Amino acid sequence: MKKLCWLFLLIAHLAHSSELPRPDHIVIVIEENKSFAQIIGNEDAPYINELARRGALFTQSYGITHPSQPNYLALFSGSTRGIRSNTCPLDLSGDNLASQLIAKGLSFASYSESMLEPGHDGCIWGAYRRKHNPVANWKELAANNQPFSAFPTDFAQLPTVSFVVPDQRNDMHDGSIAQGDAWLKKNLESYAQWAMTHNSLLIVTFDEDDGSEKNRIATIFVGQRVKPGQYVQRIDHYGLLRMVEELYGLPLLNESAKARTIKGVWVK
């Protein structure tokens, strides 16, 4: 009986896996501290709203907690690691999205605007903040910790999965919504267009809200295999990590194993 149950589970898993795309590249852009209602329908964010119409908008997407740093850790490692503040520096160990991809023969990089140099481990440099750059907390991933100036102009040279972290002037933390929206269009629209014809995916999300909507945030997918529309499935950073893990056949990390699979968003 146990063998039959295991077989049925395996068949179901393989059937589900066969329905999923395997993007050549995923770029995840993480914005800061704005609720869903502050972004969607706001005339100060015309580009993000254009992306929402062009792609898939999740209307029930949520951050995990407050403040910023544990949300980034949740998305990167499937756990807040017991961190409840923006304390810096952290020295963390254990599996994460980057180590999983590398173990699978794939690749990962985090591109942080205004970071001093590759592998930088300082907490503050100008408008750069390490609290928004989770990869910097794993010493063995120094080579995967890159400034945004290293983001390839030939998108075929991108890693399998990338994080893009604007600095505090351009992620809507210190600067305005309009400023962050303009930065996103200037720096990611070329990739968004390229992704539509090169089996790739752009994800735009936020770390947390401003405390006004029970941590409800905007999350948008744009890419060749994305079915445009609005989706009401409740998702969070753990679910987003689970989706990336499932797309590449990776083990499910920590709390991501308990998250619901994101369904219905892919064009077959």
pLDDT digits (tens, 9 = 90+) for 212-266: 999 999 999 999 999 999 999 999 999 999 999 999 999 999 999 999 999 999 9
pTM of the model: 0.94
Half-sphere exposure of 96 (CA within 13 A, CB side): 27
pLDDT at 242: 98
Per-residue tokens: 227: 């079915």
The alpha carbon of residue 104 and the mean position of all alpha carbons in its chain are separated, in whole angstroms, by 19
- Residue 134: which of 183, 68, 188 has the closest Cα? 68
- We find that the CATH architecture of domain 22-258 is 3-Layer(aba) Sandwich (3.40)
Residue 124 has pLDDT above 70, yes or no: yes
31 phi and psi angles, rounded to 5 deg: -95, 180
Residue 54 has pLDDT above 60, yes or no: yes
Task: Average the pLDDT over 8-28 and give the result.
Answer: 70
Q: Rounded CA gap, 82 and 75, in Å?
A: 14
Q: Rounded CA gap, 218 and 57, in Å?
A: 7
219 phi and psi angles, rounded to 5 deg: -135, 130
* Per-residue model confidence as pLDDT tens digits over 72-83: 999 999 999 999
- Taking phi first (over 0 means left), then psi (-120 to 50 degrees means alpha), and beta for anything else, what does residue 263 get? beta
Band (pLDDT 50/70/90 cuts) for residue 268 is: confident
Per-residue tokens: 255: 């709390």
Torsion of Cα atoms, 91 then 95 then 101 then 103, to 10°: 110
* Per-residue model confidence as pLDDT tens digits over 179-224: 999 999 999 999 999 999 999 999 999 999 999 999 999 999 999 9
Task: Average the pLDDT over 128-138 and give the result.
Answer: 98
DSSP code per residue over 136-150? GG-GGGGGGEEEGGG
pLDDT at 15: 46
- Residue 27: which of 162, 206, 136 has the closest Cα? 162
Q: Rounded CA gap, 64 and 86, in Å?
A: 14
Residue 88 has pLDDT above 60, yes or no: yes
Task: Average the pLDDT over 40-57 and give the result.
Answer: 98
Band (pLDDT 50/70/90 cuts) for residue 19 is: confident
Average pLDDT of the chain to the nearest whole number? 94
* Per-residue model confidence as pLDDT tens digits over 145-175: 999 999 999 999 999 999 999 999 999 999 9
Yes or no: say if 130 and 136 are a contact pair by the CB < 8 Å rule.
Answer: yes
Residue 69 has pLDDT above 90, yes or no: yes
